[in-house]
Amino acid sequence: MKLLVTGATRNFGTKVVETLLKTAPANQLSVSVRDPKKAEALSTRGVDVRQGDFDHPETLYAAFAGIDRILLVSADGDNETRIRQHANAVATAKRA
């Protein structure tokens, strides 16, 4: 099973990924981040780093392709922004 975590370079997302890596092989874990350069340390550990931005749904389709489960970690912003971003992500995940 391939799992993807969004927001993996932010506070909570980083903690989630580190916890998952204690029990799951890195090759079963993908992360979706706005700036893949910030996730180079994860890439060197064998984690599949993908570029995806909640505000640009077209980037999410490629990020979510081939993924079995997605953990959506919210980005910073007001509730309206987060609701819109999550709606984008869920709609894209259904298509991917």
Mind listing the pLDDT tens digit for each residue in 16-58?
A: 999 999 999 999 999 999 999 999 999 999 999 999 999 998 9
Q: pTM surpassing 0.85?
A: yes
pLDDT level of residue 96 (50, 70, 90 thresholds) = confident
Could you please state the CATH topology (level 3) that the domain comprising 3-95 is classified under: Rossmann fold (3.40.50)
* Burial of 8: CB neighbours in 10 Å, binned 0-12, 13-18, 19+: buried
Residues 50-71, mean pLDDT to the nearest whole number: 95
